[in-house]
Structure 1
Amino acid sequence: MMNAPIIDPLQGDFPEVIEEFLEHGVMKCIAFNRRGTLLAAGCADGNCVIWDFETRGIAKELRDDDCLAAITSICWSKYGHRILASAADKSLTLWDVVKGEKIGRTTLQQTPLQARLHPGSSTPLICLVCPVSSAPMIVDLCSGSTTVLPVSLPDTGNGLAPPSRNKFSDGSAPFTPTAACFNKYGDLVYVGNSKGEILIIDHSKIQVCGVVQVPGASVIKNMVFSRSGQYLLTNSNDRTIRIYENLLPLKDGLKALDESNSGLDELDGVEKVKTIGSTCLSLFREFQDSITRVHWKAPCFSGDGEWVIGGSASKGEHKIYIWDRAGHLVKILEGPKEALMDLAWHPVHPIVVSVSLAGLVYIWAKDYTENWSAFAPDFKELEENEEYIEREDEFDLMPDTEKVKESDVNEDDEVDIMTVEKDSAFSDSDVSEEEICFLPADPTPDAPEQQDKCVGSTSKLADSAQSGSPLSDEAGQNGHAVNQSSSPLEGMDNSAAEDTGGTRLKRRRRPSDKVMELQVEKVKKSSQRMKPSESFCSINHR
Structure 2
Amino acid sequence: MNAQLLNPFTIDIPDSVSSTLSTAECSTLLFNHGSSILSGQYLAVGRSDGYITIWDIETKSVLRLLAGHVRPVTGLAWSRYNRYLASCSGDWNVVVWDLAAKSQAASGLRKAAGREGDVVNTDETDPRLPFESERKTTIRFDCAVSSVQFAPASSGWLVVVLASQEAYLVDIRDKVRLGKTRGENGKVQVKDVECSPRRILLSSAAAAQVINSEATQAQDEAEEPTPAASSTPGITAARFTPDSRFIVAGTSKGSLLIFDAVTGDVLDELKVLSTTSGVKELAFDSTGKFLVVNCNDRALRILSVHTTSSTTSHHNDRPAKRLRTSLSLTLLHKIQDMIQRTAWNNIGFSPSSDYIFAGAAHKASHNVYIWDRTSSTLSKILEGPKDWSIGVDWHPSRPMLASASNTGAIYVWFTPTEEIWSAYAPGFEELEENMEYEEREDEFDFIDGKGESERLRQEEEEAAYVRICDADTAGRDNTRQTGASVAWGKVSAILAVNNDEQEGREWITLKKLFATRLDQVSTDFSWNPKADGEAGEETWIECTLLDDDDCDRFVIPPRLELDFSVFHDDHL
Give the TM-score range, shorter chain: 0.5 to 0.7
Match of 2:235, SS state, is: coil
Partners of 1:198 and 1:184 in 2: how far apart? 17
1:110-509 to structure 2, matched below 5 A, reads 110-121=143-154, 123-124=155-156, 126-141=157-172, 143-151=196-204, 153-155=207-209, 157-158=212-213, 174-213=232-271, 214-248=273-307, 257=309, 260-262=310-312, 264-266=314-316, 280-326=328-374, 327-368=376-417, 418-420=465-467, 434-443=551-560
Matched, 1:92 2:94: yes
Partners of 1:28 and 1:82 in 2: how far apart? 20
TM superposition shift of 1:246: 1.2
Which amino acid in the other structure matches residue 81 of structure 1? R
Partners of 1:206 and 1:266 in 2: how far apart? 28
Which amino acid in the other structure matches residue 170 of structure 2? V
> For the structure 1 residues 150 and 428, does the alpha-carbon distance in structure 2 shift closer, same or farther, using more than 3 Å as the test?
farther
Partners of 1:227 and 1:356 in 2: how far apart? 26
Partners of 1:305 and 1:228 in 2: how far apart? 8
Match of 2:311, SS state, is: helix
- The C-alpha deviation readout for 1:82-112, integer Å capped at 9, x for no partner, is 1111011101111111216111112101211
TM superposition shift of 1:312: 0.3
Q: Which runs of 5+ in 1 are unaligned?
A: 1-8, 249-255, 382-410, 448-542
CA RMSD of aligned residues (A): 3.8
More helix by share: 1
> For the structure 1 residues 340 and 442, does the alpha-carbon distance in structure 2 shift closer, same or farther, using more than 3 Å as the test?
same
Residue 44 of structure 1 corresponds to 48
> For the structure 1 residues 358 and 199, does the alpha-carbon distance in structure 2 shift closer, same or farther, using more than 3 Å as the test?
same
**Quick one: higher RCO (CA 8 Å, sep 6+), 1 or 2?**
2
> For the structure 1 residues 240 and 85, does the alpha-carbon distance in structure 2 shift closer, same or farther, using more than 3 Å as the test?
same
Q: Say whether the 8 Å CA contact 1:138–1:148 is kept in structure 2.
A: yes
> For the structure 1 residues 339 and 376, does the alpha-carbon distance in structure 2 shift closer, same or farther, using more than 3 Å as the test?
farther
Q: Say whether the 8 Å CA contact 1:50–1:61 is kept in structure 2.
A: yes
Q: Which deviates the most, 219-228 or 138-147?
A: 138-147
> For the structure 1 residues 83 and 265, does the alpha-carbon distance in structure 2 shift closer, same or farther, using more than 3 Å as the test?
farther
TM-score (norm 2): 0.59
Partners of 1:97 and 1:179 in 2: how far apart? 27
Partners of 1:108 and 1:159 in 2: how far apart? 34
Match of 1:154, SS state, is: helix
Matched, 1:57 2:75: no
TM superposition shift of 1:18: 0.4
Which amino acid in the other structure matches residue 434 of structure 1? C
- The C-alpha deviation readout for 1:432-490, integer Å capped at 9, x for no partner, is 9713543234456789xxxxxxxxxxxxxxxxxxxxxxxxxxxxxxxxxxxxxxxxxxx
Partners of 1:261 and 1:230 in 2: how far apart? 23
Q: Say whether the 8 Å CA contact 1:166–1:174 is kept in structure 2.
A: no
TM-score (norm 1): 0.62
More strand by share: 2
Q: Which runs of 5+ in 2 are unaligned?
A: 1-7, 102-132, 173-194, 216-226, 433-456, 478-548, 565-572
Q: Say whether the 8 Å CA contact 2:83–2:556 is kept in structure 1.
A: no
Partners of 1:210 and 1:229 in 2: how far apart? 18
The alignment covers a number of residue pairs equal to 382
Which amino acid in the other structure matches residue 466 of structure 2? T
Which amino acid in the other structure matches residue 351 of structure 1? M
Which amino acid in the other structure matches residue 147 of structure 1? I
> For the structure 1 residues 336 and 428, does the alpha-carbon distance in structure 2 shift closer, same or farther, using more than 3 Å as the test?
farther
TM superposition shift of 1:347: 0.7
Residue 31 of structure 2 corresponds to 32
TM superposition shift of 1:118: 2.1
Partners of 1:49 and 1:283 in 2: how far apart? 38
TM superposition shift of 1:293: 2.0
Match of 1:247, SS state, is: strand
Answer with 1 or 2: which has the greater Rg. Answer: 1
Instruction: Name the % identity.
Output: 27
> For the structure 1 residues 372 and 314, does the alpha-carbon distance in structure 2 shift closer, same or farther, using more than 3 Å as the test?
same
Partners of 1:166 and 1:363 in 2: how far apart? 51
TM superposition shift of 1:76: 0.8
Q: Which deviates the most, 314-323 or 206-215?
A: 206-215
- The C-alpha deviation readout for 1:248-290, integer Å capped at 9, x for no partner, is 1xxxxxxx54xx125734599xxx9xx997x611222222222
